[in-house]
Chain A
């Protein structure tokens, strides 16, 4: 079947979708957006988290057909989503740009230089909250949604909001630091 939906602010169309396919599979394999990660396929790890009509969900548990006509934001569109939130107005991210998304090489080992990042992405880099990086896209989408809803989260709020995202590297402390840092920067208008 064919699925028409909006991805990162642009209308997209996926063809030859099998009826039992997940939204995650369509994003990764049909649209070529591998940012959302496929790990547990049962909603336990959160690494496939995307926004569906603004709400964080596990894209591995959304049937592709259920996304018909709906609005999806993936980690590839997070920078644009954050920019739109602070400045308003955006044409979205074209699929080719989203596919080619990469942290551009900088002058030193700091990733993320030369490419416009969402504040939460920059905070993850600055706080050292990324190790192997597999859980990171899901954590970024969930954290960004938390800060949109609750600009000054308590530690308990952060833990609650990220309780559906597993990270096996960091022990979560650096991730907590990153979300606190992004919240502080957001409130200072940096």
Chain B
């Protein structure tokens, strides 16, 4: 095994171009587990800890360009206002020790259906910035990024530079089912974001299909129902029948398996419950914000 230690982003891309089988390691919270258990013996480890750019983020007008290695603990502390869904998701990642090391780039690189960041990214709307020495930078929409169980749209010579996450223009929520709060891989997870500016709702489902997915039929139904009832303007409570239909459609968007953590039918049920709850929570905050604005 060779340990490659690029000191800059350009060096890292050159190294990955030269050794496409090299396994990038940043926080190490996925890669080291596989090495410790002898599940993986990569020919090259490509250490990204010395690439300082990956630990920086920039807040633009519409989105945050989040460096691939910005740790979850920093997202929780520094980006709660801009990326509330991702901040909530970050808080559910493992333990403080893991959140101090792990970041969204690793979650995307591993592309596990159970990765905690994915539902939040899908709900907020995001693009993954990847680059190679040969072809430069390209942007991959988050909806096209996950291609299979632990598979993503990266080419062998590419590395993840950053993820551009849309800044919240309304309330966002994140919910996760597990046996306890800390140190739990999700049985299933759900992210929901209201986008009042475009009058749309977006969702993200984790651990309930081969890849993280959006519940697109549920989104379309809810967008139409909210528009038809004038809910965005009148700020009324969402009709229980609408919430139930939304929840059922979210459950129907799942394609889960039975495993040691839970059965497929449990996962479907739980996703429906989380969909209804997160919709209620976010809608209540939206109504609250409207009332405050109205009073002011």
Query: Chain A residues in contact with chain B, CB under 8 A?
Result: 1, 18-20, 22, 41-44, 46, 49, 55-58, 60-63, 65-66, 68, 142, 160-161, 163-166
Contact = CB atoms under 8 A, between A and B. Distances in A.
A152 to B, nearest CB: 18
A161 B96 contact: yes
A65 to B, nearest CB: 4
Contacts of A43: 29, 32-33, 94-95, 97-98
A164 B1 contact: no
Given A42-B33, A66-B28, A163-B182, 12 more contacts: A1-B3, A22-B32, A41-B33, A46-B97, A60-B36, A61-B29, A61-B101, A63-B28, A65-B3, A142-B96, A163-B96, A163-B181
Contacts of B98: 43, 58, 61, 164
A68 to B, nearest CB: 7
B27 interface: yes
Interface string B68-101: 0000000000000000000000000011111011
Contacts of B291: none
Given A41-B37, A65-B47, A19 B3 contact: yes
A57 B100 contact: yes
B45 interface: yes
A65 B32 CA distance: 12
Given A142-B97, A163-B183, A19 B32 contact: no
B25 interface: yes
A1 B1 CA distance: 10
A62 B28 contact: yes
Given A63-B28, A66-B25, A68-B5, A55 B100 contact: yes
Given A41-B36, A57-B101, A163-B183, A63 B96 contact: no
B101 A62 contact: yes
Interface magnitude class on chain B: 20 to 34
9 contacts: A18-B1, A20-B42, A41-B37, A43-B29, A43-B32, A43-B98, A56-B96, A160-B96, A163-B181
Interface of B: 1-3, 5, 25, 27-29, 31-33, 35-37, 41-42, 45, 47, 49, 94-98, 100-101, 181-183
Nearest to A1: B3
Contact of B35 (A20, A44, A57, A65): A20
Nearest to A65: B3
A138 to B, nearest CB: 9
A1 B29 CA distance: 22
Contact of B97 (A20, A57, A65): A57
A66 B95 contact: no
Contact of A62 (B32, B33, B182): B32
Contact of A42 (B5, B27, B36, B42): B36
A121 to B, nearest CB: 20
A43 B47 CA distance: 19
Contact of B49 (A18, A55, A61, A66): A66
Nearest to B91: A160
Contacts of A41: 33, 36-37
